Amino acid sequence: MNRLIVVSNRVSVPKAADSKGAQGGLAVALAAALREHRGIWFGWSGNETETFTGHLNMQRQHGVTTATIDLEHQDIDEYYNGYANRTLWPLFHYRVDLTEYERSFGAGYERVNQRFADSVTPLVEPDDLVWIHDYHLLPLGKFLRDRGMNNRIGLFLHIPWPPTRLFVSLPFHERLVEHMLHYDVIGFQSREWLESFNHYVEKELGGTVSDDGTVEWNGRRVVARAFPIGIDYAEFMAAAESDIAKRAFERLKSSADGKKVIIGVDRLDYSKGLVERFESYHRFLTEHPEAAKDVVLLQIAPPSREDVNTYQDIRNTLEQSAGHINGAHADVDWVPIRYVNQGYSRAELAGFYRASRVGLVTPLRDGMNLVAKEYVAAQDPEDPGVLILSRFAGAALQLAEALLVNPHSSEEVGDAINTALSMPREERIRRWQSMVQSVRDEDVIAWRDDFVTALKGPPANANPRQAA
């Protein structure tokens, strides 16, 4: 079996399912990918150093070999907080209004990608498969090829790819995509993002896309495909059956005191549609006062990327909104929104999901959204809850039996909350059965195997210097 060299911005090997803290879907997925393949997971340590040295810190953590480097303050500022999270993240989530275009960010982004290339190259042996992840590292494949790497190199993008009309607002957009065309395989979360990418390559770069998904441009051939990511179903179910999950279930049930719980769990990020979600819930409370007193919304939102101003803004806005709604509707023995800024372990979340009649997952735009899948997996088969899901999340293509909503319409989401709360058990079971099948079958193991098989495919791109 080929070794796998996984490269991502962060290296965060998930600890036990009962450990606290927000664990992104990416971390769980990559640890699962590396569990079966020998190999190395390379990335930024998350630490800052005075002067960049490129020193590799190699460790063995929970069965996975990791190699990390520290970055300088300026690197973190321009690459991570800057280009990745002030430029690409908002733009790729269709928020041109929040996108900042600073030349220094672009320069820092390329500098750090070059540093990654320098550090990764000596770790790679001739038969290794190199698998790069996410928007932080889009040009890395090109920089590895520049260093003579002939290995199969793939990229998986965990977030959306924007429509061409938005993407062209990025200065030097051609350069970014031309660099990406040095991969052998590029994977997207859904057909929608894949189609936007292909459209860009055809319209702006004059490349061609054949029916089998091969993109051809300037003598290069790249397989571009959708590989929808899933949860680690077996691992999640083991966590869901743990004592910790059972205690969390009891804790939420008893504190809800017979009321139906609506749950939302999201990183505190403007793409998750939390302001709009609170507004929709407010609308539901106002328009259905008879049903309102029987429910409580638990919104768990651990803070994220706190050095970026848009994240500080959204936090302030949500605090005001939760305060406003609670002030307007609360009674001496009831508060309509429990707004919680801490993270919980996967086992605790599994218990909370199972104790909740409604899962409210309403991002304005999301590559996939694994909370939706975890909510489904955690349900009691005899008495499952209802998933309300944004049609703008990649997961909506697989979870078509959720109540699909437009998260921008507080009327539509408010109505869906009312429908979900009164949905008969037979209908809840029918919808859940169809969804859980896809969550179980299209899990992270299937995703990894599918991508790795594509990555192993026939050689397409030799070192450009040799191919030229």
Among all residues, which ones are annotated catalytic? 158, 366
**Nearest Cα residue to 235 out of 371, 354, 357, 377:** 377
List the one residue from 4, 11, 13, 26 that touches ligand F6P (CB under 6 A). 26
Q: Between residue 133 and residue 152, which ones bind ligand F6P under the rule CB under 6 A?
A: 134
On whether the CB atoms of residues 385 and 361 are closer than 8 A, the answer is: no
Name which of 20 and 456 has its Cβ closer to ligand F6P. Answer: 20
On whether the CB atoms of residues 2 and 39 are closer than 8 A, the answer is: no
List the one residue from 5, 138, 159, 350 that touches ligand F6P (CB under 6 A). 159
Q: How far is the CB of 217 from ligand F6P (least distance, A)?
A: 26
Q: Does residue number 157 form part of the binding site for ligand F6P (CB under 6 A)?
A: no
Q: Are strands 214-217 and 220-226 parallel, antiparallel or unpaired?
A: antiparallel
Q: Does residue number 158 form part of the binding site for ligand F6P (CB under 6 A)?
A: yes
Q: Does residue number 71 form part of the binding site for ligand F6P (CB under 6 A)?
A: no
Show the binding pattern over residues 97-136: x = contacts ligand F6P (CB under 6 A), - = does not.
-------------------------------------x--
Name which of 88 and 417 has its Cβ closer to ligand F6P. Answer: 88
Q: How far is the CB of 12 from ligand F6P (least distance, A)?
A: 7
List the one residue from 15, 305, 338, 408 that touches ligand F6P (CB under 6 A). 305
Name which of 363 and 385 has its Cβ closer to ligand F6P. Answer: 363
On whether the CB atoms of residues 394 and 189 are closer than 8 A, the answer is: yes
Q: Between residue 366 and residue 405, which ones bind ligand F6P under the rule CB under 6 A?
A: none
Name which of 81 and 196 has its Cβ closer to ligand F6P. Answer: 81
On whether the CB atoms of residues 79 and 71 are closer than 8 A, the answer is: yes
Name which of 44 and 281 has its Cβ closer to ligand F6P. Answer: 44
Q: How far apart are CA 7 and CA 155, in angstroms?
A: 9
Q: How far is the CB of 170 from ligand F6P (least distance, A)?
A: 18
Give the sign of the dihedral formed by CA 289, CA 291, CA 292, CA 294: positive
Sheet harboring 39-49: ordered strands across? 57-61, 64-72, 39-49, 4-10, 129-133, 153-156, 185-188, 220-226, 214-217, 208-209
Q: Does residue number 179 form part of the binding site for ligand F6P (CB under 6 A)?
A: no
Name which of 29 and 215 has its Cβ closer to ligand F6P. Answer: 29
Name which of 123 and 159 has its Cβ closer to ligand F6P. Answer: 159
Q: How far apart are CA 466 and CA 468, in angstroms?
A: 6
Q: Does residue number 10 form part of the binding site for ligand F6P (CB under 6 A)?
A: yes
Q: How far is the CB of 10 from ligand F6P (least distance, A)?
A: 5
Q: Between residue 435 and residue 454, which ones bind ligand F6P under the rule CB under 6 A?
A: none
Q: How far is the CB of 305 from ligand F6P (least distance, A)?
A: 5
Count of positions on this chain that bind ligand F6P (CB under 6 A): 9
197 half-sphere exposure, CB direction, 13 A CA radius: 29
Name which of 241 and 306 has its Cβ closer to ligand F6P. Answer: 306
Q: Between residue 311 and residue 340, which ones bind ligand F6P under the rule CB under 6 A?
A: none
CA 391-89-387 angle, 5° bins: 25
List the one residue from 87, 113, 304, 321 that touches ligand F6P (CB under 6 A). 304
Q: How far is the CB of 391 from ligand F6P (least distance, A)?
A: 20
Q: How far is the CB of 159 from ligand F6P (least distance, A)?
A: 5
Maximal CA-CA distance, the chain:
75
List the one residue from 18, 24, 251, 450 that touches ligand F6P (CB under 6 A). 24
**Nearest Cα residue to 184 out of 445, 452, 446:** 452
List contacts with ligand F6P (CB under 6 A): 9-10, 24, 26, 134, 158-159, 304-305
